[in-house]
Amino acid sequence: MTTSSNPPNSAAPDQTSGMWGGRFSEATDAFVAEFTASVQFDQRFYKQDIAGSIAHATMLAKVGVLTEAERDDIIEGLSTIRAEIEAGNFEWRIDLEDVHMNIESRLTQRIGITGKKLHTGRSRNDQVATDIRLYLRDEIDDILGLLERLQKGLLGLAAKNVNTIMPGFTHLQTAQPVTFGHHLLAWFEMLVRDTERLQDCRKRVNRMPLGSAALAGTTYPIDRAYTAELLGFEAVSENSLDAVSDRDFAIEFNAAAALIMMHLSRMSEELILWTSAQFKFVNIPDRFCTGSSIMPQKKNPDVPELIRGKSGRVFGDLISLLTLMKGQPLAYNKDNQEDKEPLFDAIDTVRGSLMAFADMIPALVPNIEIMREAALRGFSTATDLADYLVKKGVAFRDAHEIVGKAVALGVAEEKDLSELTLEQLQQFSDLITADVFDKALTLEASVNARDHIGGTSPKQVEAAITRAHTRLEQLYA
Ligand code: ARG
């Protein structure tokens, strides 16, 4: 019903211009064909392209545009092509430009004239937009699975380190003692937000552009809701012009990916510091490290370093997509073909980085004694001494001043506050009594005192881990 006089049941055209040859008087220049092609990178969503075509053909048969026999031939042909691709027996042709035309051309080669009917009521513009959304939806689900695994790994390590004390830093200077479990839960929170962002982004990915055709819709009596249902889309796009040109969903994903990488990069930075000979807080097992070709002693934290490095390219991918879109008039422009590589690169990089982290985190070995010793240096309990005085009636600013003087003495004598004698401390305030050592100046007293939701005390960290497991269940329900 699509054409009045069908051309002979020809095999696939030799050149791309065969797909639109009617209007052209010469073949596409070989360099131009290569330059404008996307098959080198868009073949990665062949599966989604075939699924989209099967759903489209099924819908066309439902509304009477294709016969049931034609539909069945198309579905069988496409399924065989999928098997060919998966077996590595498919010849991808640059002259056929992209994944869509490669598959369609092969379909026609296999099943003849019926293959030429598949594209009825459809354009590559709505087809490609549909394919990327299907592809990204699958990738988001995979990435969410990796995030969940990493989050569980963090909770496992945190549970073993509820009582492990380390220095907490501000300005990378010793600030106050914290528990290692609490620090790991801070990482966990970053990843919770990343999960929420990806889940939210997925909602807008999961809308179907198919049916928008080139830009204005199509003259066939299509049933978009039916196609959407077949493909598992939550809704159909509302406006055909917007649907074929919109790449917000890819930008949103890349923004979420950039944040994930920024978080992993911050964690990496800490791991790199912590594994240095100067910190020695944590040991990364050898299987995640490499050595030096010249310095025999070296064991380098390559995985975190590489992830810190890779964050930059994902930020770049986000900027590429934003820049790609900013000047485009409605509706589809060939510029949009450039959406794929930055999106794929962000997907691959985030996926690889998360996989490495998910494997590495449960394998980390904290040096508990070294962390504790580090927390004893740098006057980490100075705030606790000030709080001790406040509880005895001193105004906080005055307490701050008093403790500052005590710290100055400690610096001069090269002693921690807990190593000064009671008499030495009492020079600064006679409110200081012997209980100061137990109540304020031990690491345990310091962390135990921060006993409220969000605080670092072992009791709170324990409770936070329990809540975190429940939150994970709800998040990934
Ligand atoms: N390969 C193209 C892309 O990735 C498919 C859409 C082409 N549409 C067109 N009107 N030339 O965007």
Which one of 95, 210, 336 would you pick to mutate in the ligand 1 pocket, going by the greatest count of ligand atoms within 8 A of its CB? 336
Residue 369 near residue 341 (C-beta atoms within 8 A): no
If one looks up domain 28-120 in CATH, what number appears? Answer: 1.10.275.10
CA of 347 to the centre of ligand 1 (A): 21
**Given the residues 5, 25, 171, 293, the one annotated as active site:** 171
Report the alpha-carbon distance of residue 307 to residue 159 in Å, rounded: 25
Q: Whose CA is nearest to atom 4 of ligand 1?
A: 337
Q: Exactly one of 292, 311, 320, 452 is catalytic; which is it? A: 292
Instruction: Give the residue whose CA is nearest to atom 2 of ligand 1.
Output: 337
Which residue from 426, 410, 423, 427 is spatially nearest to 376, judged by alpha carbons? 410
Q: What pLDDT is stored for residue 5 in this prediction?
A: 43
One of 1.10.1660.10, 1.20.200.10, 1.10.3720.10, 1.10.630.10 is the CATH number of 131-373, namely 1.20.200.10
Q: Is the CB of 125 under 6 A from ligand 1?
A: yes
Residue among 36, 39, 98 whose CB has most ligand 1 atoms within 8 A, to mutate: 98
Domain with CATH 1.20.200.10 in the chain: 131-373
pTM of the entire predicted model: 0.94
Taking the C-alpha atoms of residue 36 and residue 97, their distance in angstroms, rounded to an integer, is 7
Query: Could you tell me which of 388, 369, 371, 373 has the C-alpha nearest to residue 441?
Result: 388
Q: Does ligand 1 have an atom closer than 6 angstroms to the CB of 16? A: no
Along the 477 residues of the chain, how does pLDDT read in single tens digits?
A: 334 444 444 444 444 456 777 889 998 899 999 999 999 999 999 999 999 999 999 999 999 999 999 999 999 999 999 999 999 999 999 999 999 999 999 999 999 999 999 999 999 999 999 999 999 999 999 999 999 999 999 999 999 999 999 999 999 999 999 999 999 999 999 999 999 999 999 999 999 999 999 999 999 999 999 999 999 999 999 999 999 999 999 999 999 999 999 999 999 999 999 999 999 999 999 999 988 888 888 889 999 999 999 999 999 999 999 999 999 999 999 999 999 999 999 999 999 999 999 999 999 999 999 999 999 999 999 999 999 999 999 999 999 999 999 999 999 999 999 999 999 999 999 999 999 999 999 999 999 999 999 999 999 999 999 999 999 999 999
Where in the chain is CATH 1.10.275.10? 28-120
Q: Is the domain defined by 379-459 classed in CATH 1.10.40.30?
A: yes
Residue bearing the CA closest to ligand 1, atom 12: 337
Active site residue 171: yes
pLDDT of the residue at 218: 98
Chain region(s) in the chain for CATH 1.10.40.30: 379-459
The whole-number pLDDT of residue 18 equals: 66
For residue 17, the model assigns a pLDDT of: 56
